[in-house]
A and B are shown apart, each in its own frame.
Chain A
């Protein structure tokens, strides 16, 4: 699976949009981009995933560049409960149960 690069930490003011970048310049055509987050002392929580089109759900939006070499996770109105480590992961496109390889992630601190 392709490697991802994320900033180690970011701050965001409560109520503002949090934009978390991820570089995945070696992504291949059949790899999806997944985002998970981990709140302290809990298991990772699935947020969103996409291939090449932008995606939106009740938690966040995922913007993938046209060349697919980078993406941005957007939390439109960050709250204090969004403070967590956010992981950007690329994974093969199949149903065979491929593992997720976690990098260092971005530690997002939402401040009042």
Chain B
């Protein structure tokens, strides 16, 4: 089945550090990737939609200068949490939409990145 790889799986760093998370579709092309955030015991909340070759679309309340998204190719999107602070500690998950002519292809998710800011 379709595989989405997310790296790193776990990051622990000091406050003020910028952290980059990569999301790769390993065996398919993805024109659209999504970034979610999940706090403990809560559901996934969409942060932004990343389209290859164009600017990301951010959800209301998500700071685009804080969470930089780059989708430079059909298989890679990156999320950079700039100047991270303890309140940015969360579980970040990406998903990728398969690019085909068939409608309603499911999204496939990475295994998430657990970010802990000290």
Does B95 have its Cβ within 8 Å of any Cβ on chain A?
A: yes
With a cutoff of 8 Å between Cβ atoms, the chain B residues found around residue A91 in the complex are 104
By the criterion CB–CB under 8 Å, are A43 and B111 in contact? yes
- Measured CB to CB, the nearest residue on chain A to B2 is A46
Which residue of chain A has the shortest Cβ distance to B111 in the bound complex? A43
Partner of A95, one of B45, B49, B101, B109: B101
CB <8 Å contact, B106 and A49: yes
Write the chain B residue with the least CB distance to A35: B106
Q: Are the CB atoms of A46 and B107 closer together than 8 Å?
A: yes
Find out whether the CB atom of A99 lies under 8 angstroms from the CB atom of B104: no
Given the known inter-chain contacts A101-B46, A103-B43, please indicate yes or no for A34 contacting B106, CB distance below 8 A. Answer: yes
Say yes or no: A97 contacts B97, CB within 8 Å. Answer: yes
Which of B104, B105, B108 gathers the greatest number of chain A CB atoms within 10 Å? B104
B51 at the interface (CB under 8 A from A): yes
Chain A residues 1 to 58 lying within 8 A of chain B, measured CB to CB, are 32, 34, 36, 38, 41-46, 49, 51
A100 at the interface (CB under 8 A from B): yes
Partner of B105, one of A38, A95, A105: A95
- The answer to whether B44 touches A102 (Cβ under 8 A) is yes
Q: Is B114 in contact with A41, judged by CB distance below 8 angstroms?
A: yes
> Binary interface profile of A, 69-112, with partner B (CB < 8 Å = 1, else 0)?
00000000000000000010001011111011111110000000
What's the nearest-Cβ distance from chain B to residue A6, in Å? 11
> In the complex, A43→B111 CA distance in Å?
4
| Contact call A99/B111, Cβ cutoff below 8 A | no
A46-B107, A49-B106, A99-B34 known; 10 other A-B pairs, CB under 8 Å? A42-B111, A43-B95, A46-B108, A94-B104, A95-B102, A95-B103, A97-B51, A97-B97, A100-B34, A105-B43
Q: What are 17 pairs between A and B in contact, CB < 8 Å?
A: A36-B109, A43-B93, A43-B109, A43-B111, A43-B112, A44-B44, A44-B95, A49-B104, A49-B106, A93-B103, A94-B103, A95-B100, A95-B102, A95-B103, A97-B51, A99-B46, A102-B43
